[in-house]
Amino acid sequence: MSLRHAMLIAVLFSAAIVVGVGSINCPMLWRLAHGAAATAGRITAIDRSNHNTVRYEFTVDGRRQNGAQQGYSQAGSAKIGESIRIYYLPNDPSVSLADQPSDELQNEIITVGLAAILFPALLVAGLRTRKWSTQRDT
């Protein structure tokens, strides 16, 4: 495989990662980062063994809402019953976060970006190394 073909595969793989993985959380986080309302909520459960998941409840327009977030930044010191700030979409309160949406969006973009760079680079390196060892053996 030529370097040109390997680079083309890497670019396509990178694009697939950005579109595939980036489309999982980024659109929701973007909407929250650019249009969330904030309100007080209360922690109802903490599962530190499950990626620091926190469950919470909050009220919007007199209706109780429930939410959960994995990777809650304060899970290590959080306590059940503790009051926390919840960010939610005013037109869809079922979409909510316990952490600052802009911070979560930034973390997601960095993670997807690193995956889009590192995995294709490793793929190209592996393909090039395989080609080099195959040529050397002949």
Q: Summarize pLDDT for 1-49 with one digit per residue, the tens.
A: 677 877 788 889 899 998 998 888 999 999 999 999 999 999 999 999 9
Predicted pLDDT at 136: 55
Identity (one letter) of the amino acid at 105? L
Confidence at residue 134, expressed as pLDDT on a 0 to 100 scale: 55
Comparing 83-92, 100-109, 121-130, which segment has the lowest mean pLDDT?
121-130
Burial-class residue 68 by CB neighbours within 10 Å (0-12, 13-18, 19+).
middle
User: Is 72:60 a contact under the CB 8 Å cutoff?
Assistant: no
Tokens of 88: 């939610």
How many domains is the chain built from? 1
- Is residue 116 pLDDT above 90, yes or no? yes
Q: What is the pTM of this model?
A: 0.81
For the stretch 38-76, pLDDT in tens is 999 999 999 999 999 999 999 999 999 999 999 999 999
Asked if residue 80 lies in contact with residue 43, where contact means CB atoms within 8 angstroms, the answer is: yes
pLDDT of residue 131 exceeding 70, the answer is no
CB atoms within 10 A of CB 88: 22
Contact assessment for residue 85 and residue 74, using Cβ atoms and an 8 Å cutoff: no
Structural domain harbouring 107: 3-137
